[in-house]
Structure 1
Amino acid sequence: MRTSGDLTPWARQGVFLLNRILTVRENQPLSHQNKGWEIFTSHILAELYAVNRPLVFMLWGKQAQSLMPEVKRADHLFLCTSHPSPLAVYRGFHGCGHFELANKFLQEHGLTAIDWRLP
């Protein structure tokens, strides 16, 4: 059981978490949609998609999946499932194995697996 929400251990291993819309009003999903976040996050993803080394993209939810490039690089892995929110976690996220699949891909490409455990 985690004792904090600190994701620093993941960041130190190269994990980059990105939501499509970076802010919302409390209890109002998508309340900051069409405020410019989509442009910002699209630019970030375009840069990441162009990176010339193996990367894993976990696209959770329809909004995230809509950002998958039409032409995918062979050295990038795209894993898609439902959003892990309480409303959708059992529509595919729970048991999807993305963390194991990501580590398998990284190791197959000579990279270090991610230690997904958190304090």
Structure 2
Amino acid sequence: MNDYARLPEDWARAVAATGYDLAQVYAALDNIYGGPGTHPISPPARADVFRAFHLTPLADVRVVIIGEDPYPDPSQAHGLAFSTPPTYLGERPTSLGRIFGALRRDLGLLPSQDDLSPWAQRGVLLLNVALTHRAGSAMPDLPTWRRFTEEVLGVIDRQLQEVAWLLWGDFANDIADSVPRTNQRHRTFRNAHPRAGRAKRSTLAQSPPFLAASTFLGTDPHIYWTL
């Protein structure tokens, strides 16, 4: 089993260069996963917490998709926003089903799996703002993670060219907009959260972003987004 309990070296160097002390995140993880009387955690394995960063090296990021926190059911979470692991055999989460519905409308693609790892390996950073969620808690572990995530988004803006930001829902839009993003070679595509039936922004069903993002990036959408 791969151990994604710590950031890979490329991301760790870039985040540390901002002045952020990664030791505080690792100490928080010690407490979250090792504290007395620990409740079930999403993701259930500490070794999955930084999976998104291991599957998508910093230099390879082409798309950023921001989720709020891992699914509250630990069996559905494995360190990639909106994705479920191959071991999960239950009902598809509503958000993921609507993402796939938009993919079908936009590109005619019918995913054959609910694990989004192939997207991550092609440069889609599937990033939750909070990388952990204690089961039974009404709120994710946002105080632990928000500053870390803001530093990650700032690194992407400063260091990378031609990145498509797919921002779904108020939470993703608000945190992305809280970071000074000034890179004129990036493009932002805004939608309502996949869970939303009605919203002030266009839903994924009304305005799916996959073809538009691939056109901007110059990638073949039927290869880039297939699963």
Runs of 5+ in structure 1 lacking a partner? none
Instruction: Give yes or no for the alignment of 1:94 onto 2:212.
Output: no
Instruction: Give yes or no for the alignment of 1:84 onto 2:194.
Output: yes
* TM-score normalised by the chain length of structure 2: 0.43
Paired with 1:4 and 1:78, the residues of 2 have a C-alpha distance of 27
Counterpart among 48, 62, 67 of residue 170 in structure 2: 62
Structure with larger Rg: 2
* TM-score normalised by the chain length of structure 1: 0.77
Is the partner of 1:18 in helix, strand or coil? Answer: strand
Give the deviation of 1:25 after TM superposition. 3.5
The one-character-per-residue Cα deviations of 1:21-75 (angstroms, maximum 9, x if unpaired) are: 22224475633232x1101111110100112411011111111111224553221
Partner in structure 2 of residue 21 of structure 1: 130
Partner in structure 1 of residue 32 of structure 2: none
Point out the structure with the larger helix share. Answer: 2
Is the partner of 2:151 in helix, strand or coil? Answer: helix
Q: Does the 8 A contact of 1:21 with 1:30 survive in 2?
A: no
Q: CA RMSD in A?
A: 2.2
The one-letter code matched in structure 2 to 1:113 is: D
Is the partner of 1:79 in helix, strand or coil? Answer: strand
Partner in structure 1 of residue 216 of structure 2: 105
Runs of 5+ in structure 2 lacking a partner? 1-109
CA change 1:4–1:22 in 2 (3 A) is: same
Is the partner of 1:6 in helix, strand or coil? Answer: coil
Q: Percent identity?
A: 29
Is the partner of 2:220 in helix, strand or coil? Answer: coil
